[in-house]
Amino acid sequence: MSDDYGLVVKNNNGGVMFDSRKGMSSYVVREIGTGVETSFTLNDGDMVFAKRPSSTSNNWWTDKIIFGSSTLGPLGPPENPRSYGFYAFTDLSSGVSAEVNPVVMDYFVVTHAKNIDVSSEDYGLIVKNSDGTLQFDSRSIKNGQHFLITDYYPPRTFDGDPYSAPVGGLGDMDGYWSMNWTTGLDIANDVAAISVRGLKWIGVSSSAGATGPVIEAFFDVGGEEGGFDGGEGGGSTVSTRTYENRINGMILGAELI
């Protein structure tokens, strides 16, 4: 098909909702909010983007690593899967001890149009790609905003150590960043074992002066039994920190349009 012909739909802000000339997937913004967790459990393929709320001061974020989890802590219903929650890992006493607590984030959730229940709506517009896959279903749009991917970093782009090159500064301090690659695990048996992978909204890395949120990912072993407490605070001494060599996850920046 010639690129001169097709059907393009834009929202009120001028963002492209779909373009029939392109083999696109029909992803829509399912939820926009501010809080410590999303309202929905996540489907396979859902993407969560988050940024720090503008109401909090820069200093509050300097010692905190932000990550997301569907399984950690008391957020959400007691049964699994839980609603996706946001957490702040805080090093205390120069890294000798640590704690984890829920943290309020601005966020939005992107899902495939097929995951939106449209059974109650009889009218709309459906566009399919040439292979029969769904490109767009107007009934799946539940709010007036769409999203635009502004940054893309392939897997293994960054080290987990924010103090050595390549520095994991992600550019836009006020933008939304994907959280699916982040994680926090409490592996406590005879000794504390803590794995954290996330973002520090500190603005500038201590090495090379990278701007934007900074990646930090490590595994801690040693000290007291108990690990961190999955959202209720809790403490654990840690003695050995090993940084991840490369982050095995795609990292995306985005904005609402």
Residues 99-147 have pLDDT tens digits of: 888 999 999 998 877 776 666 677 777 777 777 777 676 655 666 677 8
The pTM score is 0.76
Please tell me the predicted confidence (pLDDT) of residue 119.
64
Q: Are 48 and 40 in contact (CB under 8 A)?
A: no
- What's the average model confidence in pLDDT over 57-80? 72
Q: Decide if pLDDT at 184 tops 80.
A: yes
Name the band, by pLDDT with cuts 50, 70 and 90, for residue 191.
very low
Residue 44 or residue 78, greater confidence: 44
Q: Which of 1-5, 33-37, 78-82 has the highest mean pLDDT?
A: 33-37
Q: Decide if pLDDT at 215 tops 60.
A: yes
- What's the average model confidence in pLDDT over 188-196? 63
